[in-house]
Amino acid sequence: MCGIMAEYDTVQNKIKNGYIFKDHLDKAIELKPQDPLSYYLLGRWCYAVAQLSWIERKVAATLFGDPPSATVEDALNNFLKVQ
C-alpha cells in the first residue's frame, strides 16, 4: 500500500511515509529475523532511497534533518538474505 501511495503523493509525504515504513521494517526484522519478506521489502526500500533525486534529498534534509541513506549495495545485501 505504501508503495502505491508514494507514486501519487507529494515529495514531503513520500519521504515521511518512507521513514515510517523503514521503522516498521526494522521492528519486523527485530521480531522475526528469519522472515525473508521483511528483507525483500527492506531491499526495495534501500533501492528506492538510493535512487532519490537531489531535490528529494534536499526536501528530506530540510524537513527531517537527515535524509534517509542507503545504497544499491545495501539493497543487494538485503535481497541476498531472501534466498
How does pLDDT run along the chain (83 residues), one tens digit per residue? 666 776 788 878 888 888 899 999 999 999 999 999 999 999 999 999 999 888 888 888 888 888 788 999 999 999 999 97
List all residues 6 or more positions away from 21 whose beta carbon is below 8 Å from its beta carbon.
2, 45
CA distance 23 to 56: 19
By the 8 A CB rule, do 67 and 60 touch? yes
Q: Do residues 39 and 81 touch, judged by C-beta distance below 8 A?
A: yes
Question: How much is the pTM?
Answer: 0.84
